[in-house]
Structure formats: structure tokens, C-alpha cells
Amino acid sequence: MENSATSSVSRGPGRPDRYASFTSYVAVGDSFTEGMCDDVLPNGRYRGWADRVAARLAAEQPGGAGLRYANLAVRGKLIGQIHDEQIGEAAGLRGELVTLAGGLNDVLRPGCDVDRVEELLGRSAAALLDSGAVVVLFSSTDPTRRLGGSARLLPAILRMKAFVEGLAADPRVVVVDLFSAPCFDDPRLWAEDRLHLSPEGHRRVAEAVLEALGRPAGFDWRAPLPAAAPPGRLAKLRSDLRWLGSHLGPWIGRRLTGRSSGDGMTGAHFRPELGRVVPTVITWLGMPAAGERPWADDLPHGAAHAEGR
């Protein structure tokens, strides 16, 4: 089923009908896809837009069959790490749908080699396409409309936007255009750290992805939030000082020492796990041993459940 609202999506010609339904989904990337700063689930992990997409796709399956789902994303990862650590595993799972978001952590760093970022992103997309997946890519939001001092990032972000749009010449690639959505200028769509989405931001990205995949609109994800009085000068100063001390300072410290917030973590919300999603329950299952089926269908042992998610 195609949604008539297509302005957020770059589409290649001749998109096949099988885009209308998926029985398996793999998410790869960095903190954006891990779900940082969304609602926290009972098991202590973030929900994130990818989990929201998975739950919606699962609800489409006949007879409550559910959706095979794995989220391999890890906060702080650069595109080279995503390529080396996640893409091979994701391709091996042969999910029908894969979302790939990466490269912005590279762009945030001074001296970013955009040519190299594009090369690795292109290789990653090609490997996923070779596995038979439909691949969803993203253009980044425009930080210059909400973050002072971010103008230096714009040339690289625009290059990356043009690059991923070029990849959509392949009919199996869909590009979700977040750059052109002014709703993301609203600070209420961002967490206190100003780098990660708030729960409302994750909700809107999930809806944008679903719209890109032809699902009927659940709501207008581009619509502005209701108007709110701007914070007073003193409140803004306090917020800025808190951000400098709690978020920007530690981020700079990690850059100077070569550390990442994702050090020591692996995929699927910090562990190499696979999941099976049904409409009202997300169940995280252990990685199958060598020789077993890549998607576990049996009941979990010691698994965490997220009821009603």
C-alpha cells in the first residue's frame, strides 16, 4: 500500500510490491538507532524509533505471527565501526528490511574525511542490498537551525544528503528525508544533551520511516508542536550551563582521549541478541549457537519482556 504523502521519501523507479509487507527487520547504526534518550523499558534499555517501527510492522502480520527483529546499533559508533562490526552480521541475518543510519558521528569530528565516510556508507548499503534486503537510509536533520556554532557541519551534511539520495537510484533503497522537516528545529524533539532525540522525536522518526515504507499515516510527523512560551533569559542561561557541564564537556573529553560512549558495548541494545516482536510484546532472545537458525522462534530463557510496547 502506497501512501500518497511522498515528499519525505526519495524513491527509485519500479518499486516492487513486496515493500508492502516484511516478516523480518534488522536495524544497524549508532545512538540514533539504538534509541538513546527515548523511553526506558523495564529491562533498562531505550525503546527508540526502531523498536516502534518493529512493533508496527509486527502488528501487520496475519494471525499474530509477529516479526523477526534484531537491533545491532551501538551508541558512539563511527561509520567504519558500523561497517566492520555490524554490516556483516546484519547481512548474514538476511532480514527483508534493514535500516542503516551512520556517518554523523564522523561529521561531528573536526577533519572528517567525507569521501571516506561516503565510501564506507556505500559499501555498507551495497552489502545489505546483496543480502536481498530493502534498505532504508536517512538524511540528517539540519543542526544549523537549532544549534549555535554548527554551521561548519552543514557542507558535510549536505554532501551526505546528496550521496544517500543518489543511492536511491536503486529501487530497493528508500531515503527518509529528515533534513527538510522544520519540526526538528523544535528543542522539544531533542533530549537535554541536544544531540539525541527525545521520546517525541523518536515517535516522529518512526512515523517517517513507516510512511517511507508506504504505511498509512498515523499522524502528521512533520507538524509543528503546539506553541509554547520561550524560556526566560535566566532559565536559558541555567539550561546552557547545565548542558556545557553535563554533556558538551564530557563529549569533548571523550574526543580528546579517543574514547567513545559505546566502548565495550555490542549490538542489540549492548548485547549480540536477536529478537522476535509480536504486536504487544517485544521479547529479546539469546544469539543462537553456530549451526542453529539465525532467527530464534522458541521461547526465551531468562529473556526480558516489554509488555504493551
Q: What is the pLDDT of residues 236-286, one digit of tens each?
A: 566 555 645 654 555 555 555 655 555 555 554 333 334 444 333 333 333
Q: Please, how many CA atoms are within 13 Å of residue 74, restricted to the half-sphere of its CB?
A: 24
Residue 62 lies in a domain: yes
For residue range 129-153, list pLDDT tens digits in order: 999 999 999 999 988 877 666 788 8
Output phi, psi for 20, to 5 deg.
-75, -15
The percent of residues above 70 in pLDDT, for the chain, comes to: 67
CA distance 190 to 266: 25
User: In which band, very low, low, confident or very high, does the pLDDT at 72 lie, cut at 50, 70 and 90?
Assistant: very high
> Is pLDDT at 37 greater than 90 in this prediction?
no
Which residue has better confidence, 249 or 108?
108
Which residue has better confidence, 21 or 6?
21
Domain interval for residue 299: 9-223+230-307
How many domains are contained in the chain?
Answer: 1
Residue 2 lies in a domain: no
DSSP character string of the chain: ---S--TTEEE-SS--GGGG--SEEEEEESHHHHTTTSPBPTTS-B-HHHHHHHHHHHHTSGGG--EEEEE---TT--HHHHIIIIIHHHHHHT-SEEEEE-SHHHHTSTT--HHHHHHHHHHHHHHHHHTT-EEEEEEPP-GGGTSTT-GGGHHHHHHHHHHHHHHTTSTTEEEEE-TT-GGGGSGGGB-TTSSSB-HHHHHHHHHHHHHHTTPPPSS-TTSPPPP-PPPPHHHHHHHHHHHIIIIIHHHHHHHHHT--TTTT-BHHHHS--EEEEETTEEEEEPPPPTTS-SS--SPPSS--EEET-
> Is pLDDT at 70 greater than 80 in this prediction?
yes
Output phi, psi for 40, to 5 deg.
-95, 130
Q: pTM of this prediction?
A: 0.76
For residue range 201-248, list pLDDT tens digits in order: 999 999 999 999 999 889 999 999 987 767 777 765 665 556 456 545
Check: CB of residue 288 under 8 Å from CB of residue 271.
no
Model pLDDT, residue 101: 97
CA distance 120 to 117: 5
Arithmetic mean of pLDDT over the chain: 76
Buried b (16+ CB within 10 A) or exposed e, 37-69: bbbebeeebbbbbbbbbbbbbbeebeeeebbbb
Residue 36 lies in a domain: yes
Residue 3 lies in a domain: no
Q: Which CATH number belongs to the domain containing residue 148 in this structure?
A: 3.40.50.1110
Residue 1 lies in a domain: no
Which of 118, 211, 129 has the alpha carbon at shortest distance from 166?
118
- What is the dihedral sign for C-alpha 30, 32, 37, 43? negative
The mean pLDDT value for 194-205 works out to 91
Which residue has better confidence, 66 or 158?
158
Model pLDDT, residue 226: 87
Residue 139 lies in a domain: yes
Model pLDDT, residue 273: 38
Check: CB of residue 239 under 8 Å from CB of residue 198.
no
Residue 163 lies in a domain: yes
Pairing between strand 97-101 and 24-29? parallel
Model pLDDT, residue 274: 40
For residue range 170-182, list pLDDT tens digits in order: 999 999 999 999 9
CA distance 141 to 139: 7
Which of 54, 57, 37 has the alpha carbon at shortest distance from 45?
37
Which of 127, 129, 75, 126 has the alpha carbon at shortest distance from 102?
75
Residue 156 lies in a domain: yes
Which residue has better confidence, 83 or 279?
83
> Is pLDDT at 104 greater than 80 in this prediction?
yes
Model pLDDT, residue 283: 36
Which of 6, 27, 38, 42 has the alpha carbon at shortest distance from 203?
38
